[in-house]
Chain A
């Protein structure tokens, strides 16, 4: 089917270039927000994650943690050392021995490694 038949309004749009670029920026921002929207975890999932974390902490077993930051999704694997309740931080020692701090509010997934 001809483009004119399926898109006569797209063909006849009268838009200023500055308006188009403003809309493009707005659409890019919406796409970015959507890609970085923190998933809402239900109570059951939160409980499961809490349980997995406590077990790993007590038994010093490895965990796989997924976080969502402004830079996108990041994945960590290591043994949890402690939680800093005041600052909302989780301390994790990776396999190479490197100590990392993870913001608890950025965690979107957690499971035994």
Chain B
């Protein structure tokens, strides 16, 4: 019996934030438009640029002043993260009318499994055209579609080809994967970042084809499971599935922030860490869970001499109490901080389990702390995030009040 090949789509929204802004304000259509954070808060980098802005050489990730220099009449707009989330979810609902197997991969990319739907929507190109037309008509956002026999092929088809062709569509299959991708530079392969690219270049691997020619065992020995996954990716093999239920299971909760200035004093950094710990714990509690491992990330301020650290430690027992988690955060910070100024910090709590499933301690102090945390959550849920907070959040350097109305570090 012949196994039916899967039909996986990756729909990628074109200049998503900028497109949403242009859809909201049609007078911006056709103008060079960039969405950019607040330079005063060190968020003055381009988050999205319209195709007209890109035509002037403006790229995502550039500083705002550079964009202004490249195109003096460029229109700047502040991000409104909640609108982008709402628009992304509207697009998810449109896709759900085509198939129930939809997996949002990021705010502007979504996988769809259209296997076995050829009789309803026709061949992939026709189905993609229908998808693109619906999204454009209902949201004013243009999307591009990459199609493959698995998620990896769809992603490669979209990133490497569909974004560069006029009809915004490209299809890869196991038969033509090598023909199209093996001549591309190795950094174009999904999963290869700057560091991995450097590692590969060091051993003479410059294209995806070179990587595919290496031995799978050698890559596994050298880079573990990541090496093996990259070998599979180079061959267009991927065992992932579009499983919306699996995507809903959260393994960890994290919070990361770029600070408005370089923080040098220990008490200031610890103040921010305390606030972020409370934030992370509140989010874990909201899911009715507790976490077992704390991860702390600190990034140094000097770009030329990258400093900082990333360390994790298991808690004595799973918890979502800020007091208990902060003890571990403080321990990690004091042990690994090299006294250099800090630019960004991040905390995450992973190894999530259902609340009380593993809570074996009989210490009554924990119950008091849990009751206090639950009460704070209840008050904030009802009266807003800033209705109740620690007095320390009024000290200089505190970030709680500034970040309260933000999503992803930008205006909501």
Contact = CB atoms under 8 A, between A and B. Distances in A.
- Physical interaction between A and B: yes
Interface of A: 1-2, 4-10, 12-24, 26-27, 30
A13 B93 CA distance: 19
A5 B225 contact: yes
Contacts of A27: 244, 248
A4 B250 CA distance: 16
Contacts, number: 74
Nearest to A27: B248
A5 B85 contact: no
B248 A9 contact: no
Nearest to B89: A22
15 contacts: A1-B239, A4-B226, A4-B229, A6-B241, A7-B240, A9-B151, A9-B155, A9-B240, A13-B247, A14-B105, A14-B107, A17-B283, A19-B89, A22-B89, A26-B89
Interface of B: 81-82, 85-86, 88-89, 92-93, 96, 103-107, 111, 151-152, 155, 191, 225-226, 228-229, 232-233, 238-241, 244, 246-248, 250, 253, 283, 286, 407-408
A24 B106 contact: no
A9 B111 CA distance: 10
Given A18-B82, A22-B85, A26-B89, A8 B283 contact: no
B225 A16 contact: no
Determine the main DSSP class of A at the interface with B.
helix
Contacts of B85: 16, 18-19, 22
Contacts of A19: 85, 88-89, 104, 107
Contacts of B111: 9
A15 B228 contact: no
